[in-house]
């Protein structure tokens, strides 16, 4: 079955043509980094307007690249949660309109579940394009697995019993990992998006130069994350390095506007130490989730999964514990519509939505990414 996938949860406008094997015939992504860069983060109103401008050309281009026409489309899949409401509404409305005009089924999928599904090696351009340990991992499918999703808006661990059966094990209680990369990059004046910028600055830096906190919130049973304390620790470190009477009489410790990042190589050491702290936490929590579920397969997705140091450390972990590890190639880590090939699992099972399909800023909880209804 051939279907069109539409992704507009945040600041990437994306469309793909997929099949339920699953295969990706085309994947087109229009980023909005230029529009949000000067604000140091995504501005929801600007993102929504850019989706309006970009979506139709992106869909056209995905159809052209797959060498198919609208008449060939047998279903429409759309990320309807979680995300920015204004952004989601553009993609969802387009998906409904196309499904209605073509009289084909509509399926809404959870964006975070789709990030895990991107680990399916059949979606990659080449079987060795992403990280796959051992080399034949994922041959017979990627479920059951622990799914770790690390993105700009979310840091979550899932027990993924099957492609449509996800259970949340833990999530961030404050900032997401990617958000902390973006905020620290802004503080260090490294630009947006922060993840790749911190990674570049961390190259050649000493990751043990600064002692930064690793937070594991909750009791021994918790698999939650917290990154806001780490961000604040970097802020205090920058202020301390500046060493020129930042503590104001009003009790506000630092005037943020006056803070200046340290020059290289201290800047590189700080970036490397920060990156290592985030990676330490992600790797430890992933290990705990694997032990908790007893699964022997770890699938990692989301923009932060593109991070070279995280990939290296997860590879070490999986190899030492004898676990399967799947991490998609970079183009499938950051937001894209190819990962919505997940929708094929719903289409195959006849689990489709009607035109009342809603959107939500929060992820689906419980065993299914969303409440789907069977339709003949
Ligand atoms: O999954 P994604 O494209 O969008 C969301 O669903 O949020 O993730 C974007 C996030 C941004 O915070 C960006 O800074 C981060 O992924 N990111 C990285 C890297 N590439 C992108 N973080 C660390 N290292 C990278 N190489
Ligand atoms: Zn994402």
- List C-alpha distances in Å: 115 to 13, 193, 329: 16, 19, 12
Q: Choose one of 33, 175, 178, 336 to mutate for the ligand 1 pocket test, by most ligand atoms within 8 angstroms of C-beta.
A: 178
pLDDT digits (tens, 9 = 90+) for 221-237: 999 999 999 999 999 99
Neighbours of ion ligand 2 (CB under 5 A): 151, 335
CA 316 to chain CA centroid, Å, is: 22
In this prediction, residue 241 carries a pLDDT of 86
Instruction: Return the higher-pLDDT residue of 43 and 29.
Output: 29
CA of 334 to the centre of ligand 2 (A): 6
Q: Whose CA is nearest to atom 3 of ligand 1?
A: 334
What average pLDDT does the segment 116-124 reach? 97
Query: What are the beta bridge partners of residue 173?
Result: none
CA of 244 to the centre of ligand 2 (A): 40
Q: Choose one of 109, 152, 198 to mutate for the ligand 1 pocket test, by most ligand atoms within 8 angstroms of C-beta.
A: 152
Reply yes or no on whether the pLDDT at 33 is more than 90: no
Q: Choose one of 116, 151, 156 to mutate for the ligand 1 pocket test, by most ligand atoms within 8 angstroms of C-beta.
A: 151
In this prediction, residue 367 carries a pLDDT of 52
Q: Looking at the domain that runs over 169-331, which CATH code has it been given?
A: 3.30.420.40
In this prediction, residue 41 carries a pLDDT of 76
DSSP secondary structure string, 105-140? -EEEEEHHHHHHHTT-GGGSSSTTSSEEESTTTTTT
pLDDT digits (tens, 9 = 90+) for 225-278: 999 999 999 999 998 888 654 444 444 456 667 788 999 999 999 999 999 999
What average pLDDT does the segment 96-116 reach? 97
DSSP secondary structure string, 22-56? TEEEEEEEEE-HHHHHTTTS--HHHHHHHHHHHHH
Reply yes or no on whether the pLDDT at 375 is more than 70: no
In this prediction, residue 36 carries a pLDDT of 82
Position in ligand 1 atom list of the atom nearest CA 193: 14
In this prediction, residue 255 carries a pLDDT of 67
Ligand that comes closest to the CA of residue 305:
1
Could you check whether 1-118+336-376 and 169-331 share the same CATH topology?
yes
CA of 307 to the centre of ligand 1 (A): 8
CA of 79 to the centre of ligand 1 (A): 18
Reply yes or no on whether the pLDDT at 364 is more than 90: no
Reply yes or no on whether the pLDDT at 171 is more than 60: yes
CA of 235 to the centre of ligand 2 (A): 26
In this prediction, residue 376 carries a pLDDT of 34
What 3-state class would DSSP assign to 172?
A: strand
Q: How far apart are CA 181 and CA 199, in angstroms?
A: 9
pLDDT digits (tens, 9 = 90+) for 325-334: 999 999 999 9
What's the sign of the alpha-carbon dihedral 306, 222, 288, 273?
positive
Going from N- to C-terminal start, the domains of the chain cover 1-118+336-376, 169-331
> What count of other Cβ atoms lies within 10 Å of the Cβ of residue 248?
11
Reply yes or no on whether the pLDDT at 127 is more than 50: yes
Order of strands across the sheet with 155-162? 131-133, 324-327, 297-301, 145-150, 155-162, 165-171
As for ligand 1, residues whose beta carbon falls within 6 Å of it are: 10, 151-153, 178-179, 181-182, 193-196, 199, 302-304, 306-307, 334-335
> What count of other Cβ atoms lies within 10 Å of the Cβ of residue 20?
18
pLDDT digits (tens, 9 = 90+) for 316-355: 999 999 999 999 999 999 999 999 999 999 999 999 999 9
In this prediction, residue 366 carries a pLDDT of 55
Ligand that comes closest to the CA of residue 42:
1
Position in ligand 1 atom list of the atom nearest CA 192: 14
pLDDT digits (tens, 9 = 90+) for 46-83: 999 999 999 999 999 999 999 999 999 999 999 999 99
pLDDT over 90 percentage in the chain: 84
CA of 259 to the centre of ligand 2 (A): 31
What is the CATH T-level fold of the domain 1-118+336-376, as seen in this structure? Nucleotidyltransferase; domain 5 (3.30.420)
Average pLDDT, rounded, for the chain: 92
Maximum alpha-carbon separation in the chain? 71
Instruction: Return the higher-pLDDT residue of 222 and 34.
Output: 222
> pLDDT-derived band of residue 372, with 50, 70 and 90 as boundaries?
very low
What average pLDDT does the segment 367-376 reach? 46
Position in ligand 1 atom list of the atom nearest CA 149: 1
Q: Whose CA is nearest to atom 8 of ligand 1?
A: 303
Q: List the structure tokens of 159.
A: 């027990």
pLDDT digits (tens, 9 = 90+) for 173-201: 999 999 999 999 999 999 988 999 999 99
Continuous segment of H or E residues that includes residue 160:
strand 155-162
What average pLDDT does the segment 211-222 reach? 95
pLDDT digits (tens, 9 = 90+) for 133-153: 999 999 999 999 999 999 999
- List C-alpha distances in Å: 3 to 62, 105, 161, 240, 268: 11, 9, 25, 55, 45
CA of 360 to the centre of ligand 2 (A): 14
CA of 178 to the centre of ligand 1 (A): 5
Q: How far apart are CA 331 and CA 320, in angstroms?
A: 27
In this prediction, residue 39 carries a pLDDT of 79
What average pLDDT does the segment 99-125 reach? 97
In this prediction, residue 242 carries a pLDDT of 81
CA of 332 to the centre of ligand 2 (A): 10
Asked whether the beta carbons of 279 and 178 are under 8 A apart, the reply is: no
């Amino acid at each position: 079955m051939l279907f069109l996938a539409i992704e507009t949860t945040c600041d990437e406008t994306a469309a793909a043509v997929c099949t339920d094997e699953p295969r990706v015939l085309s994947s087109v992504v229009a980023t909005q980094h230029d529009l949000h860069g000067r604000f140091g983060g995504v501005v929801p109103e600007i993102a929504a307007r850019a989706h309006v401008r970009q979506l139709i050309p992106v869909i056209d281009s995905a159809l052209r690249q797959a060498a198919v026409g609208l008449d060939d489309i047998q279903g429409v899949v759309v990320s309807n949660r979680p995300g920015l409401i204004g952004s989601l509404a553009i993609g969802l409305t387009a998906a409904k309109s196309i499904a209605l005009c073509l009289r084909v089924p509509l399926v809404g999928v959870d964006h975070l579940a789709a990030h895990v599904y991107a680990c399916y090696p059949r979606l990659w351009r080449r079987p060795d394009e992403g990280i796959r340990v051992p080399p034949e991992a994922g041959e017979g499918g990627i479920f059951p697995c622990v799914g770790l999703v690390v993105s700009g808006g979310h840091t979550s661990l899932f027990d993924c019993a099957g492609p449509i059966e996800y259970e949340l094990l833990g999530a961030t209680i404050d900032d997401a990992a990617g958000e902390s990369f973006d905020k620290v990059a802004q503080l260090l004046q490294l630009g947006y998006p922060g993840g790749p910028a911190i990674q570049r600055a961390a190259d050649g830096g000493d990751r043990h130069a600064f002692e930064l906190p690793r937070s594991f919130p909750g009791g021994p049973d918790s698999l939650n994350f917290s990154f806001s304390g780490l961000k604040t620790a970097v802020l205090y470190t920058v202020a301390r390095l500046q060493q020129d009477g930042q503590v104001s009489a009003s009790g506000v410790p630092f005037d943020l506007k006056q803070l200046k990042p340290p020059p290289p190589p201290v800047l590189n050491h700080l970036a490397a130490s920060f990156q290592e702290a985030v990676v330490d936490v992600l790797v430890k929590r992933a290990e705990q989730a694997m032990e908790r579920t007893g699964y022997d397969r770890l699938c990692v997705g989301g923009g932060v999964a593109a991070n070279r140091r995280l990939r290296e450390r997860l590879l070490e972990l999986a190899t030492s514990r004898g676990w399967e590890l799947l991490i998609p190639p970079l183009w499938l880590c950051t937001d894209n519509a190819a990962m919505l090939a997940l929708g094929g699992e719903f289409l195959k099972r006849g689990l489709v939505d009607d035109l009342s399909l809603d959107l939500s800023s929060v992820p689906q909880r419980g065993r299914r990414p969303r409440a789907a209804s069977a339709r003949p």
